[in-house]
Protein backbone atom coordinates (compact mmCIF):
# COMPACT_ATOMS: atom_id res chain seq x y z
CA UNK A 1 0.00 0.00 0.00
CA UNK A 2 1.40 3.39 -0.97
CA UNK A 3 1.85 6.12 1.59
CA UNK A 4 -0.57 9.02 1.63
CA UNK A 5 0.24 12.74 1.98
CA UNK A 6 -2.07 15.63 2.75
CA UNK A 7 -0.71 18.80 1.18
CA UNK A 8 -2.51 22.01 2.12
CA UNK A 9 -2.72 24.85 -0.37
CA UNK A 10 -1.88 22.39 -3.14
CA UNK A 11 -3.84 23.91 -6.02
CA UNK A 12 -1.02 26.27 -7.10
CA UNK A 13 2.50 27.50 -6.44
CA UNK A 14 4.66 25.67 -3.92
CA UNK A 15 1.84 23.39 -2.83
CA UNK A 16 1.23 22.20 -6.38
CA UNK A 17 4.95 21.51 -6.93
CA UNK A 18 5.12 19.63 -3.63
CA UNK A 19 2.05 17.53 -4.42
CA UNK A 20 3.41 16.59 -7.84
CA UNK A 21 6.85 15.72 -6.48
CA UNK A 22 5.43 13.48 -3.76
CA UNK A 23 3.22 11.82 -6.36
CA UNK A 24 6.33 11.11 -8.44
CA UNK A 25 7.78 9.51 -5.31
CA UNK A 26 4.82 7.12 -5.32
CA UNK A 27 2.62 8.69 -2.65
CA UNK A 28 -1.12 9.11 -2.96
CA UNK A 29 -2.04 12.77 -2.50
CA UNK A 30 -4.84 14.61 -0.75
CA UNK A 31 -4.92 17.95 -2.60
CA UNK A 32 -6.29 20.57 -0.23
CA UNK A 33 -7.54 23.84 -1.71
CA UNK A 34 -9.15 26.94 -0.31
CA UNK A 35 -11.24 28.36 -3.15
CA UNK A 36 -10.14 27.28 -6.61
CA UNK A 37 -11.63 23.84 -7.17
CA UNK A 38 -10.84 23.89 -10.90
CA UNK A 39 -7.13 24.38 -10.19
CA UNK A 40 -7.20 21.61 -7.57
CA UNK A 41 -8.91 19.27 -10.03
CA UNK A 42 -6.16 20.00 -12.55
CA UNK A 43 -3.54 18.97 -9.99
CA UNK A 44 -5.48 15.79 -9.26
CA UNK A 45 -5.57 15.02 -13.00
CA UNK A 46 -1.80 15.58 -13.28
CA UNK A 47 -1.14 13.29 -10.35
CA UNK A 48 -3.41 10.62 -11.82
CA UNK A 49 -1.51 10.86 -15.10
CA UNK A 50 1.67 10.07 -13.15
CA UNK A 51 0.13 6.81 -11.96
CA UNK A 52 -0.63 7.89 -8.39
CA UNK A 53 -3.97 8.30 -6.65
CA UNK A 54 -5.31 11.72 -5.67
CA UNK A 55 -8.43 13.47 -4.45
CA UNK A 56 -9.19 17.15 -3.87
CA UNK A 57 -10.67 18.43 -0.63
CA UNK A 58 -11.72 21.97 0.36
CA UNK A 59 -11.40 23.92 3.59
CA UNK A 60 -10.95 27.48 4.76
CA UNK A 61 -7.90 26.94 6.98
CA UNK A 62 -8.57 30.17 8.89
CA UNK A 63 -11.78 28.65 10.30
CA UNK A 64 -11.59 25.76 12.77
CA UNK A 65 -15.15 24.67 11.91
CA UNK A 66 -14.13 24.34 8.26
CA UNK A 67 -11.02 22.36 9.21
CA UNK A 68 -13.13 19.99 11.32
CA UNK A 69 -15.58 19.49 8.46
CA UNK A 70 -12.69 18.77 6.09
CA UNK A 71 -11.33 16.02 8.31
CA UNK A 72 -14.76 14.44 8.71
CA UNK A 73 -14.99 14.25 4.93
CA UNK A 74 -11.36 13.18 4.65
CA UNK A 75 -11.93 10.16 6.90
CA UNK A 76 -14.44 8.76 4.43
CA UNK A 77 -12.25 9.64 1.44
CA UNK A 78 -9.23 7.91 3.02
CA UNK A 79 -11.22 4.74 3.68
CA UNK A 80 -12.27 4.75 0.04
CA UNK A 81 -8.69 5.44 -1.10
CA UNK A 82 -6.70 3.17 1.21
CA UNK A 83 -9.11 1.16 3.35
CA UNK A 84 -8.50 3.11 6.58
CA UNK A 85 -8.69 6.69 7.83
CA UNK A 86 -4.92 7.03 8.27
CA UNK A 87 -2.21 8.86 6.34
CA UNK A 88 1.54 9.29 6.55
CA UNK A 89 2.65 12.81 5.65
CA UNK A 90 1.21 16.23 6.44
CA UNK A 91 2.61 19.20 4.54
CA UNK A 92 1.39 22.47 6.06
CA UNK A 93 1.85 24.74 3.07
CA UNK A 94 -1.35 26.83 3.05
CA UNK A 95 -0.91 30.42 4.16
CA UNK A 96 -0.48 33.97 2.98
CA UNK A 97 2.08 36.76 3.07
CA UNK A 98 0.76 40.25 3.72
CA UNK A 99 3.35 42.98 3.11
CA UNK A 100 2.73 46.38 4.71
CA UNK A 101 4.63 48.99 6.71
CA UNK A 102 3.96 48.51 10.42
CA UNK A 103 1.87 51.68 10.62
CA UNK A 104 -0.52 50.50 7.91
CA UNK A 105 -1.60 47.24 9.53
CA UNK A 106 -5.21 46.90 10.64
CA UNK A 107 -6.61 44.44 13.16
CA UNK A 108 -8.27 42.62 10.26
CA UNK A 109 -4.91 42.30 8.44
CA UNK A 110 -3.20 41.01 11.57
CA UNK A 111 -5.90 38.46 12.34
CA UNK A 112 -5.91 37.18 8.76
CA UNK A 113 -2.13 36.79 8.76
CA UNK A 114 -2.08 34.76 11.98
CA UNK A 115 -5.35 32.91 11.35
CA UNK A 116 -4.04 31.47 8.09
CA UNK A 117 -0.39 30.95 9.00
CA UNK A 118 -0.55 29.93 12.66
CA UNK A 119 -4.07 29.07 13.84
CA UNK A 120 -4.89 27.12 10.69
CA UNK A 121 -1.60 25.21 10.75
CA UNK A 122 -2.05 24.37 14.44
CA UNK A 123 -5.60 23.06 14.19
CA UNK A 124 -4.91 21.13 10.98
CA UNK A 125 -1.98 19.50 12.75
CA UNK A 126 -4.06 18.83 15.86
CA UNK A 127 -6.63 16.99 13.75
CA UNK A 128 -3.95 15.17 11.75
CA UNK A 129 -2.00 13.79 14.72
CA UNK A 130 -4.40 10.95 15.65
CA UNK A 131 -4.74 10.08 11.97
CA UNK A 132 -1.00 9.93 11.24
CA UNK A 133 0.59 6.51 11.14
CA UNK A 134 3.59 5.76 13.35
CA UNK A 135 6.85 7.09 11.86
CA UNK A 136 4.88 9.70 9.94
CA UNK A 137 6.05 13.12 8.84
CA UNK A 138 4.89 16.69 9.49
CA UNK A 139 6.51 19.31 7.26
CA UNK A 140 5.76 22.98 7.85
CA UNK A 141 6.50 25.80 5.42
CA UNK A 142 8.24 28.75 7.03
CA UNK A 143 10.29 31.55 5.50
CA UNK A 144 13.85 32.76 5.25
CA UNK A 145 12.54 36.12 6.45
CA UNK A 146 12.69 34.92 10.06
CA UNK A 147 16.48 35.16 9.66
CA UNK A 148 17.13 38.07 7.30
CA UNK A 149 15.02 41.04 8.36
CA UNK A 150 17.04 44.21 7.76
CA UNK A 151 15.99 44.79 4.15
CA UNK A 152 12.37 43.64 4.39
CA UNK A 153 10.45 45.59 7.09
CA UNK A 154 7.15 45.31 5.21
CA UNK A 155 7.22 41.54 5.89
CA UNK A 156 7.69 41.89 9.65
CA UNK A 157 4.28 40.58 10.74
CA UNK A 158 4.37 37.80 8.15
CA UNK A 159 7.79 36.77 9.44
CA UNK A 160 6.49 36.86 13.01
CA UNK A 161 3.73 34.42 12.06
CA UNK A 162 6.31 32.08 10.59
CA UNK A 163 8.49 32.53 13.68
CA UNK A 164 5.57 31.06 15.63
CA UNK A 165 5.61 28.12 13.21
CA UNK A 166 9.31 27.56 13.95
CA UNK A 167 8.58 27.33 17.68
CA UNK A 168 5.57 25.04 17.20
CA UNK A 169 7.76 22.78 15.08
CA UNK A 170 10.20 22.25 17.94
CA UNK A 171 7.48 21.55 20.50
CA UNK A 172 5.57 19.21 18.19
CA UNK A 173 8.78 17.32 17.41
CA UNK A 174 9.37 16.82 21.14
CA UNK A 175 5.77 15.71 21.72
CA UNK A 176 5.59 13.26 18.80
CA UNK A 177 9.08 11.78 18.88
CA UNK A 178 8.00 8.68 20.82
CA UNK A 179 5.80 7.73 17.88
CA UNK A 180 8.69 8.18 15.44
CA UNK A 181 6.89 11.14 13.83
CA UNK A 182 9.33 13.81 12.67
CA UNK A 183 8.38 17.49 12.51
CA UNK A 184 10.43 20.02 10.57
CA UNK A 185 10.13 23.46 9.00
CA UNK A 186 11.42 24.36 5.55
CA UNK A 187 12.31 28.05 5.25
CA UNK A 188 12.32 29.08 1.58
CA UNK A 189 13.98 32.18 0.25
CA UNK A 190 12.47 34.13 -2.65
CA UNK A 191 10.73 31.60 -4.93
CA UNK A 192 9.24 32.32 -8.35
CA UNK A 193 5.54 31.68 -7.73
CA UNK A 194 2.42 33.67 -8.55
CA UNK A 195 2.65 35.22 -5.09
CA UNK A 196 6.01 36.80 -5.93
CA UNK A 197 5.62 37.20 -9.68
CA UNK A 198 5.24 40.97 -9.78
CA UNK A 199 8.64 41.45 -8.19
CA UNK A 200 10.71 38.35 -8.98
CA UNK A 201 9.88 38.34 -12.68
CA UNK A 202 10.97 41.95 -13.10
CA UNK A 203 14.55 42.77 -14.07
CA UNK A 204 15.01 44.81 -10.89
CA UNK A 205 13.66 42.02 -8.68
CA UNK A 206 15.86 39.39 -10.27
CA UNK A 207 18.97 41.55 -9.97
CA UNK A 208 18.28 42.37 -6.31
CA UNK A 209 17.61 38.74 -5.46
CA UNK A 210 20.70 37.39 -7.15
CA UNK A 211 22.85 40.11 -5.60
CA UNK A 212 22.17 38.77 -2.10
CA UNK A 213 22.30 35.07 -3.04
CA UNK A 214 25.31 32.77 -3.00
CA UNK A 215 23.77 30.71 -5.81
CA UNK A 216 23.17 33.17 -8.63
CA UNK A 217 19.71 32.26 -9.85
CA UNK A 218 16.09 32.66 -8.84
CA UNK A 219 14.59 29.92 -6.70
CA UNK A 220 11.89 27.76 -8.26
CA UNK A 221 9.07 25.73 -6.66
CA UNK A 222 10.85 22.46 -7.44
CA UNK A 223 13.80 23.62 -5.31
CA UNK A 224 11.49 23.47 -2.29
CA UNK A 225 9.54 20.41 -3.40
CA UNK A 226 12.77 18.41 -3.55
CA UNK A 227 13.53 19.26 0.08
CA UNK A 228 10.00 18.19 1.04
CA UNK A 229 10.61 14.93 -0.78
CA UNK A 230 13.63 14.24 1.43
CA UNK A 231 11.81 15.16 4.64
CA UNK A 232 8.85 12.97 3.67
CA UNK A 233 11.10 9.97 3.03
CA UNK A 234 12.62 7.33 5.27
CA UNK A 235 16.01 8.96 4.62
CA UNK A 236 15.04 11.82 6.95
CA UNK A 237 14.17 9.58 9.92
CA UNK A 238 16.88 11.13 12.18
CA UNK A 239 16.00 14.75 11.37
CA UNK A 240 13.38 16.41 13.55
CA UNK A 241 12.66 19.73 15.23
CA UNK A 242 14.71 21.57 12.63
CA UNK A 243 14.35 24.74 10.59
CA UNK A 244 15.92 23.90 7.23
CA UNK A 245 16.54 26.96 5.11
CA UNK A 246 16.40 26.54 1.34
CA UNK A 247 17.23 30.02 0.08
CA UNK A 248 20.18 29.59 -2.27
CA UNK A 249 22.42 31.07 0.40
CA UNK A 250 20.58 34.38 0.76
CA UNK A 251 22.27 36.99 2.99
CA UNK A 252 25.14 34.73 4.05
Which residues belong to the active site?
Answer: 158
Give φ, ψ of 51 to 5 degrees. 95, 5
Q: How far apart are CA 209 and CA 163, in angstroms?
A: 22
Cα torsion angle, 49, 121, 125, 190, sign: positive
Burial zone of 98 (CB within 10 Å; 0-12 exposed, 13-18 middle, 19+ buried)? middle
- Give the start-end residues of each E strand in 45-95: 54-58, 87-92
Contact 188, 244 (CB under 8 A): no
Q: What is the DSSP letter of 195?
A: G
Contact 151, 162 (CB under 8 A): no
CA pair distance 74, 20, nearest whole angstrom: 20
Dihedral of CA 209/191/218/147: which sign?
Answer: positive
Question: Hey, is 182 helix, strand or coil?
Answer: strand
Q: Tell me how far CA of residue 200 lies from CA of 179, 207, 217, 218, in angstroms.
A: 41, 9, 11, 8
How far, in Å, are 1, 127, 140 from residue 95 at the CA level? 31, 17, 11
Amino acid sequence: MSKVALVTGASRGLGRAIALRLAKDGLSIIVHYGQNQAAADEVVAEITSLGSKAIAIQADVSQVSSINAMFEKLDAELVSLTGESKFDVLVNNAGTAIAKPFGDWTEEDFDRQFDLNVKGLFFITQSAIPRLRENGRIINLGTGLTRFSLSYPIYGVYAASKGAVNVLTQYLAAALGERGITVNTIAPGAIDTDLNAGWLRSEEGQQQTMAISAIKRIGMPDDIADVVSFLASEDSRWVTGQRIEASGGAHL
